[in-house]
Structure 1
Amino acid sequence: MFDLDRIRRDTPAAASAVFLDSAGSSLPPDPVVETAVAHLRREAVVGGYRAANERMADLAAVKSSIAKLIGAQASDIALSDSATRSWSDFFYSVPLSPGDRILLCEVEYASNAIAALQRAATVGAIVEFVPSDPSGQIDLNALERMLDDRVRIVSLVHAPTNGGLINPAREVAELAHRHGALVLLDACQSIGQVRVDVGELGVDALSATGRKWLRGPRGTGFLYLRPELAASLEPPALDLHSAQWIAKSEFQLAADVTRFEFWECDVAARLALGRAVDYLLDIGIDAVEEAVRERATYLRAQLRGVDGVTVHDLGERKSGIVSFTADGKIPTDVRDALAERGITVTVSHRRSTLVDMNQRGLDAVIRASPHYFVTFEQLDEMVAALRSL
């Protein structure tokens, strides 16, 4: 258990409104905000270079904290400005030849799918989608049938943006590795709300953002790479941090995952990301996972009792994302009407998860994502407001 009162004091907005959009961009706790603001103020006094030099040890500790959270080593972590940047930098570094196959899941996020389609068209590779099983998660039997020695990479969304399921990452990795394929896990919606251990999952790479369930600032993210993999990949873009200029016509890549980083970055945001991860570690990821699961389960049950409301969450294992529609109501209108009552939800549109939404005949769903700082009374308030619409 954790001290909910203390956490809510650290999150003043949680008392004045019902915030249900941690799957979009969560509310950072005060210590995270203070970390970012304090560094910006220091930059205003001594300049960005000196301010950063003063915090070199703290910047290094950001990777150590992330590594502790996901069961890795600090040397396995590259910091970036987003999950999309991390995912793309890894994906574009995997060598592909004509006829190679790229497997995506049906709940693939649009940014990932667009990158895969673009690269396939450029190199002559083939993009295929692994079907979902009746529960909504990736069909492991179908995946096993599709795998062969031409499959170079399997992209798996751990928790899709448009509904509450968690895909079986470990099982996907085990199947893919039998054929020598790499597994890239999009953990954008799982890091910070469920326990993610890269050693247990066995994935080759993992991308994540800071702004969602980690409660960090926007413009932050990270990439995990299996240690022995980093030295075999060359990122599509380099600078003087990811490589060294060693002769007039020669450069040398960084030996480790540092080759996936650029020198220029938002130092204040990265320090705040580290503080957000430490804040989560202090609470305990297991306690957070239990609290999120309890709130999401409770909200689904309450919504199912509202006339005209349909909950669309699938999967054998549920995430903290609750997706639903209201008969005769445009999702964006529901979102805006709830906002007028001090309740923040968002809408997930078909274009974000095109294949899955088309399969289910959905154009958009309302998405509520209660984090651990939300009270059950606030969930009741949300349901009551929905009934009144």
Structure 2
Amino acid sequence: MNIEQLRADTPAVEQLIHFNNAGAALMPKPVIEVMTRQLQLEAQLGGYEAAAQHLPELENVYGAIGRLINACPDEIAVIENATRAWDMAFYSLPLQAGDVVLTSTTEYAGNYIPYLQLKKRRGIEIRIIPNDEQGQVSLSALKDMLGDDRVALVSLPVIATNGGPVQPIEQIGALARAAGVLFLLDACQGVGQMPIDVQKIGCHMLAATSRKYLRGPRGMGFLYVEKSLCQNLEPAFLDLHAASLLTPETFKIREDARRFENWECNVVAKLGLGAAVDYALAQGLEPMWQRIQHLAAYLRDRLGEVAGIKPTDSGIIKSGIVTFTCQGSSAVQVQQWLAARDKRINVSTSTFRSTMLDMQQRNLLEVSRASLHAYNTEAEIDEMIEALLRMPRS
């Protein structure tokens, strides 16, 4: 990859070291320029009029996302964030009392809470797929669990918010398909970081965000729903965009995945998402993934040189999210120390409240999280290590 160009396209790297890409990555110039242009046009013409001038570009967002994940444009819905995209898919499923949802120990609390809500409301059952010795979903256990004909859904993240492993999603998808069970994939930490191909994965639904590794704006995400499934799902919420009023007594839901959208949206952010997808495609997802994995491996090696640092990543395939604990310092203290003005290094913390099942299983309350992107460098990692070596501890 042309690292110099990646960094030239990312103005903020001149002022800080950004290792919080799993939270919100730094937007590249093409994204900033598209959004700035549209915002200025809205100020000059009005929001509706500005959008009308860029209808082809807005329509092209669906095609770009389709190319990104190998889906058809009519299988894509652009929704205000990944949480709402995931919710729109999950709550449209006709889950009934006794139906079983299978998930992983690495499930995000924002997804697990809806499971509990439907357990309370409808009487569904939640079962956790055990991990194998490497810390990822046990495929043999999953196969056995799918033998229960009450299993209606497999739902899990490709990469957890608190780090690896990268789940074996293609094998999971194949097992779910063979059992005739729906597969809902949370790809928030995967899209933009690694190649994601819904045809190879075999997932029926996928939700993702704009702001993380895809490097788009906040407040924007998308949902993929397989065409053959889409028309069988009725969204929990409808409006005059998702459906048409035929008579005072009847309405018709649109046939494509945009039935999960609503009329009002952030046009500026939607165009920014499209620009971010175009940018990622132009760079190449496979080279991006290789670069990110290289940097993450380099950071893990260098963390081994710092006394008291304990890596907490697991899995056969690890992602660009590097997590660790630091003896004598809390994750918040590590974050604050690295963010001090003379260092300007952004990392984050991940607590048991976001991935409770996994963290409790591993006796962790919190971890420090450094999430790397392709525009980061080995020199930036070296600066972080030097800062950690100087950090005072209690």
TM (norm. structure 2) is 0.97
Summarize the alignment of residues 102-113 of structure 1 with structure 2, pairs less than 5 Å apart. 102-113=101-112
Summarize the alignment of residues 116-127 of structure 1 with structure 2, pairs less than 5 Å apart. 116-127=115-126
Summarize the alignment of residues 232-381 of structure 1 with structure 2, pairs less than 5 Å apart. 232-340=232-340, 341-381=343-383
Q: For residue 6 of structure 1, report the CA deviation from its aligned partner.
A: 1.8
Contact 1:101/1:127 (8 A) holds in 2 = yes
Separation in structure 2 between the aligned mates of residue 286 and residue 179 of structure 1, nearest angstrom: 30
Q: For residue 177 of structure 1, report the CA deviation from its aligned partner.
A: 2.1
Q: For residue 12 of structure 1, report the CA deviation from its aligned partner.
A: 1.5
Contact 1:10/1:29 (8 A) holds in 2 = yes
Q: For residue 138 of structure 1, report the CA deviation from its aligned partner.
A: 0.7
Separation in structure 2 between the aligned mates of residue 40 and residue 25 of structure 1, nearest angstrom: 21
Summarize the alignment of residues 376-387 of structure 1 with structure 2, pairs less than 5 Å apart. 376-387=378-389
Separation in structure 2 between the aligned mates of residue 137 and residue 251 of structure 1, nearest angstrom: 45
Separation in structure 1 between the aligned mates of residue 114 and residue 387 of structure 2, nearest angstrom: 40
- The CA deviation string for residues 38-74 of structure 1, in whole angstroms up to 9 with x for no partner, is 1011011111111111111101111111111111111
Letter in 2 for 1:154: V
3-state SS of paired residue (2:353): helix
Summarize the alignment of residues 1-389 of structure 1 with structure 2, pairs less than 5 Å apart. 2-147=1-146, 148-340=148-340, 341-389=343-391
Contact 1:151/1:179 (8 A) holds in 2 = no
Percentage of pairs with the same residue: 44
- The CA deviation string for residues 168-201 of structure 1, in whole angstroms up to 9 with x for no partner, is 1111112122322100000000000101100011
Separation in structure 2 between the aligned mates of residue 136 and residue 245 of structure 1, nearest angstrom: 50
Contact 1:156/1:169 (8 A) holds in 2 = no
> Which of structure 1's runs of 4+ aligned residues deviate more than 2 A?
none
Letter in 2 for 1:56: L
Separation in structure 2 between the aligned mates of residue 119 and residue 43 of structure 1, nearest angstrom: 41
Q: For residue 382 of structure 1, report the CA deviation from its aligned partner.
A: 0.5
Contact 2:177/2:202 (8 A) holds in 1 = no
Contact 1:335/1:347 (8 A) holds in 2 = yes
3-state SS of paired residue (2:374): coil
3-state SS of paired residue (1:88): helix
**Stretches of structure 1 lacking an aligned partner (at least 5 in a row):** none
3-state SS of paired residue (1:224): strand
Q: For residue 352 of structure 1, report the CA deviation from its aligned partner.
A: 0.2
**Stretches of structure 2 lacking an aligned partner (at least 5 in a row):** none
Contact 1:100/1:126 (8 A) holds in 2 = yes
Contact 1:149/1:180 (8 A) holds in 2 = no
Separation in structure 1 between the aligned mates of residue 188 and residue 130 of structure 2, nearest angstrom: 21
Q: For residue 210 of structure 1, report the CA deviation from its aligned partner.
A: 0.3
Separation in structure 1 between the aligned mates of residue 175 and residue 281 of structure 2, nearest angstrom: 31
Contact 1:331/1:365 (8 A) holds in 2 = yes
Separation in structure 1 between the aligned mates of residue 205 and residue 282 of structure 2, nearest angstrom: 26
Separation in structure 2 between the aligned mates of residue 40 and residue 16 of structure 1, nearest angstrom: 25
3-state SS of paired residue (1:365): strand
Separation in structure 2 between the aligned mates of residue 209 and residue 84 of structure 1, nearest angstrom: 8
Letter in 1 for 2:158: H
Letter in 2 for 1:98: A
Letter in 2 for 1:236: A
Letter in 2 for 1:378: E
Of residues 148-157 and 232-241 in structure 1, the stretch that sits farther from structure 2 once superposed is 148-157
Letter in 1 for 2:206: L
- Aligned residue-pair number: 388
Of residues 123-132 and 200-209 in structure 1, the stretch that sits farther from structure 2 once superposed is 123-132
- The CA deviation string for residues 347-368 of structure 1, in whole angstroms up to 9 with x for no partner, is 0111000000000000000000
Of residues 9-18 and 53-62 in structure 1, the stretch that sits farther from structure 2 once superposed is 9-18
3-state SS of paired residue (2:127): strand
- The CA deviation string for residues 297-334 of structure 1, in whole angstroms up to 9 with x for no partner, is 10011001211000111001111100001011111011
3-state SS of paired residue (1:129): strand
Contact 2:193/2:292 (8 A) holds in 1 = yes
Separation in structure 1 between the aligned mates of residue 330 and residue 323 of structure 2, nearest angstrom: 14
Contact 2:104/2:129 (8 A) holds in 1 = yes
Separation in structure 2 between the aligned mates of residue 383 and residue 131 of structure 1, nearest angstrom: 35
Contact 1:104/1:130 (8 A) holds in 2 = yes
Q: For residue 15 of structure 1, report the CA deviation from its aligned partner.
A: 2.1
Separation in structure 2 between the aligned mates of residue 224 and residue 321 of structure 1, nearest angstrom: 24
